[in-house]
Structure 1
Amino acid sequence: MPPPYPPALRILICLKPDPGVQAAIDRFRVDTGWPSWRRWTTAPRLHLTLQCWDGFPGSEVEPLRAALRGVPMAPLDLVLDKPQLWHRQTAVLLARPNAGLQALHERMRAALGQAGLLMAPHLQPHVTLSYRAPEPPPADAGPGIPWCAREFLLIWSQLPPAYPRAHHEVLQRYGAAEASPAA
């Protein structure tokens, strides 16, 4: 039996970098010269957002989990290298264009649509670095951060003041199908 969920949740579908990629993102922030005093997203909470819902109905969590089970994923070789400033204060890091990432996003959109769940139409996959970035990112992003993503996650993002501390509760992991070895 699924746990009881509140009537409205903040739900994410994302790719979660391993600790090595998280450390590389931290080094990127320092190496590019952004001020260290800025309030950064902590390394364990870094993720590449594919979809985000604020106020997602708790009653729809189980149908969402079921719909995502039908979304196949292949390992994705990504390179994070495009810092941007969104909405005048949100620092994000984007991946280079990647056909596999785009295809995964479209498969999710189709599976959720069949289940009667809608994705935000124009959400660009991104890693949020800081919500309080008063200046634009540096022009030179360097060589980029390579990352092989092997799973996507369904996360319940619990944020203050509704919760005592910021926390991501993983509701489900969906692994990538590995290519079969050549015979």
Structure 2
Amino acid sequence: MNSGKPPVVPTQRLFLALWPDEATRGQLAAHANQWIWPPGCIRYAPADWHATLHFIGDVATEKAAAIAACAVVPFQPFELVLDQPRLWDHGLAVLCAPVVPMSLRLLHDRLGHALDGLAQALDPRPYVVHVTLARHAAAAIAPAVLAPVRWPVRGFSLVVSTGLQAPRYRVIRQYP
């Protein structure tokens, strides 16, 4: 019997991101441990730290292979420096980059064009490179002085949000 409802299409919540190596994660942990975190703050686990390149959103699972293929773009390794702790709206504590390296700008643009070619909606806001450290952190106090996190970026990843508390994300493809 047909209920008249369209079939449920399985989806995945995807994004492209810079994924830190162990050494960079260690630097980020040292930085995060210098903050004074308020009660009720939810700190992100080190395994979840990343810098989003493009949030893709919920897509049909069958479309994931096309997205993975379109993300094969020229890539030039670079160093990303993160040294600007910030508290953003909605209680997000982040660590930002003061400068976006040209190689990162090119990567972001190339991936944007590739996704646009698949008719994927892109975030219209200006790109701000950051790593989210915690949420519900409006009353957090950032360190006054900190050593910059120096992240040697050698690639990027296609990532799926698991919907779980841990692991929150799972890398499904690494580039290059």
Q: TM-score, normalised by structure 2?
A: 0.83
Once residues 143 and 111 of structure 1 are traced to their aligned partners in structure 2, the CA distance between those partners, rounded to angstroms, is: 36
Cα distance in 1 for residues equivalent to 2:45 and 2:105: 26
* Alpha carbons 1:81, 1:141 under 8 Å: kept: no
Deviations 1:19-63 (A, max 9, x none): 1111111111122x3228632111111111112233233232111
In the other structure, the counterpart of 2:98 is: 96
**1:29 aligns to 2:32 (yes or no):** yes
Check if 1:133 corresponds to 2:131.
no
Structure-1 separation of matches of 2:96 and 2:59: 25
Q: Is 1:84–1:137's contact at 8 Å kept on the other side of the alignment?
A: no
Give the direction of change, closer, same or farther, for the CA distance of 1:29–1:167 in structure 2 (3 Å limit).
Answer: closer
Letter matched to residue 92 of structure 1: V
How far apart are 1:119 and its partner, in Å? 2.0
The RMSD of aligned alpha carbons is 2.1
Structure 1 residues 24 and 65: CA distance shift in structure 2, 3 A = same
Structure 1: stretches of 5+ with no match in the other structure: 1-5, 176-183
Partner residue of 2:68?
65
Q: TM-score, normalised by structure 1?
A: 0.80
* SS, match of residue 103 in structure 2: helix
Q: Say if 1:141 and 1:17 are closer, same or farther in 2 by CA, change over 3 A.
A: farther
Aligned with 2:108 (options 102, 105, 108): 105
The 1-side partners of 2:89 and 2:53 are apart by 18
Residue correspondences, number: 165
Give 1:25-174 correspondences, 5 Å limit. 25-31=28-34, 33-35=35-37, 38-69=41-72, 71-97=73-99, 98-122=101-125, 123-135=127-139, 137-138=141-142, 140-160=144-164, 165-174=166-175
| Unaligned residue ranges in structure 2 (runs of 5+) | 1-8
**8 Å Cα contact 1:155/1:168 also seen in 2:** yes
- Report if aligned partners of 2:16, 2:158 keep a CA contact under 8 Å in 1: yes
Residues 137/124 of structure 1: CA separation in 2 closer, same or farther (3 Å cut): farther
Q: What is the deviation of 1:152?
A: 0.4
